[in-house]
Each structure stands twice: as structure tokens, then as C-alpha cells.
Amino acid sequence: MAAEFLVMLYEYSLFYIAVIAVCFIITVAVVLGWFGFDVPVILRSSDETESLTAVSERKMVQVTNPFALEMDSRAGTVTEGVSLQPYCLEDCVLSCFWGCGVQALQAALQSHQHGLRLRLRLRTPELFQEALELSYLHHQSFNIHKEEKEEYFTQMPPDLGVTDFGLLPRDRYPLVAVLTLAYPETRDNYNIVASVTVLHVPDDKYRLSARILFQYLLTAQGNLYDLKPLFMSADNSNLSGTTEPSISTQGAEPQPERPGEKGEESDSEGEWPDTQGRDCVVCQNAPINRVLLPCRHACVCNGCMCHFQHCPICRAFVLESFALANQPARDEEDLTED
């Protein structure tokens, strides 16, 4: 009799423990879902999503960027040289500095940012060369005609006997390409006066494929912006592939960055006309027009922007967003009609 009672008590205990565990799991899931954590909760209704905190929009202004630079996809090595293809809205000068010192480049960019006199602003090839204080192994210049589409070949002279720039970490960049406007009368027409591109070129010690490491835009007011690419979903092309000079956008209140460091977010993202016709990854109906920060994914339309707080591509938390182009806020109305 006592044994039967103990068996019955044991069975009831397992039942109650299972019931309590299930109730606990459901309660935790509901609470986490209510406060917006990333858990799949089916109890969250569409009305509740409207109460989510709206993602703030970064204020942007448009400026014209007269420079663009692209490296040839068949880029060679330090000994073989590389081909660069600049695109300029005005006549400009392409200055190539092989083996440019890291510290010297940072000091030059700092002199542009913190120079109190206009003489210290890096507006011309001569001023940039002077700011580097000869801390480079070879210098080569090319005159670029307006809207000319031609590749320019640059190479380290063989008689220098340089086949590599040492082991990591290095104190020299393989190649730094600087684009500046050629004539004084055109410099007053643009807010951006120079483009600085740091490139990696393979050598005997470091065989990583050739690529652009950093791109900086220098303004006439002494500001420096870290130019970063925008990204789209795998179904669409990468926006960073656009090479033509175009209208760029900058923050309304730009904060200068420290040279040599990548800023929290580029204030020089481009306005991309080729995004027209690309569908939003959420509704698959309206064109893409929003860039999410800090992940820089361009993947949603204006109407879908207010319905989530995480990037639909990488699931990163969205802190800010900005528009690629000024469009009427009618995406949501189109969805309703459909």
C-alpha cells in the first residue's frame, strides 16, 4: 500500500513539474517578445509593432563630389605596377605616392584639418607633396582631362630595387593616390577639393589581392570625411561599384575625424540613381530608398522603414537611416492599395 502511494506521488510530481516548466517557458517568451527582444513570439500583433521606437533620421545635405577613382580588376603587383582609372568632372591632377609613410600621411591629413591658414589646406598637388615631407619612395603625376575615361599605369621604378614593404605591421602604405583640381578657378566651385585613396598592392611579403583600403574626401573648410560603400542584398549589385562622380551627401553638422581611423559612419555616402527599380526586400513592391546605419545596408523602402528596428539583411540594430533620394512618402499607400 505504501509502495503504491509513493509511485502515485512520483507520477503526479513529474506531471506538475512539466506543467510548471511549460508555463515558465511561455511566460518568459511573452515577456521578452513584449519588450522587443529578438525571439520568435507569435503573440505580437501588428498594432504592437506600430508602438516601436522610431528610428531617427540623419539630416543630410547634398554636395557635388568631382572625383572618383577605380582600380583595374586585373591589378598587378608592386614590381609589375597597377592601372588606375579616374573620373573627374573638371580637369584634375592624379598624384601617385608609392611607399607613402603611414605617419606622414596622418600628419598631412591633420594639417589639413587643423590648419588655421588656407596655405595649410591640401588644395593642390604641390601642397600635398610638401605636407608628406618626402616620406615616400616614388612620386608620379598625371594630368586628367575633364570627363576623360582612360586608365593610367603607375609603377615603382625597377632601379629602386623595392619588391616589398616589409612584414606586418607596416610603416608604409604601398600606394596612395590623390586627386586634386587642376585650376584655381574651378576649386572655388566645389566644396570637396581633394580625394585621397589608400590602396593595397600585392608584393613578395604580402600577397593579399589589390584593393582600396581607405578613401577620404577633403573639403575647402578643412573637414575630412571617410568615404564608405553602401551594401545591397545578394540579389542586387553592390552599390560601391558605382564609379562615376555623382552628387554626394554630407551630414548637416559634420564632425571631423581623426586621420588614420575609420569614423563611426561616413558622412559622404552617395546618392545612387541606379537604385531606382530595385525592390524593397521587405515588401518586394516599392523601390529601395533607405540606407540603414551603422551597417550601411540599402535594402528597404520609405514605407517599411517604420516597421522594424533590426536590419532585415544582417539583423544588426538600426540606430539611424537616411534617404538615397527625395521621394514622396507614398510607399505605404501603394501597399494598402495592392
CATH assignment at residue 324:
3.30.40.10
267 in any annotated domain: no
Average pLDDT over residues 60-70: 86
Kindly state whether residue 266 falls inside one of the protein's structural domains.
no
Q: Model pTM?
A: 0.69
- Cα 58 to Cα 255: distance, rounded to the nearest angstrom: 13
Q: Are 124 and 183 in contact (CB under 8 A)?
A: no
Which has the closest alpha carbon to 152: 163, 142, 138, 166?
142
Cβ contact 300:312 at 8 Å: yes
Give the amino acid at 27. Answer: T
Mean pLDDT of 7-21: 67
- Out of 246, 264, 280, a domain closes at 246
115 and 149 together in one domain: yes
Give me the domain span that covers residue 141.
60-246
pLDDT band at 198 (very low <50, low <70, confident <90, very high): very high
**What mean pLDDT comes out for the span 26-48?**
57
What local confidence, expressed as pLDDT, does residue 193 receive?
92
Instruction: Please report whether residue 263 resides in a domain.
Output: no
User: Using 50, 70 and 90 to split pLDDT, how confident is the model at 69?
Assistant: very high
CA distance 247 to 273: 10
Based on the domain organization, do 101 and 241 belong to the same domain?
A: yes
Asked if residue 224 and residue 99 are part of one domain, the reply reads: yes
Find, among 235, 274, 291, the residue nearest to 299 by Cα. Answer: 291
For residue 138, count other CB atoms closer than 10 A to its CB.
16
Can you give the pLDDT at residue 62?
Answer: 77
Among 3-12, 16-25, 215-224, whose mean pLDDT is lowest?
3-12
Evaluate whether 321 touches 293 at the Cβ level (below 8 Å).
Answer: yes
Domain assignment present for residue 309? The answer is yes
Residue 12 lies in a domain: no
pLDDT at 270 over 80: no
> 194 with 283, same domain?
no
Total domains present in the chain: 2
Q: Look up residue 174 and give its three cell numbers.
A: 604601398
Answer yes or no: do 122 and 230 share one domain. Answer: yes
DSSP structure class, residue 287: B
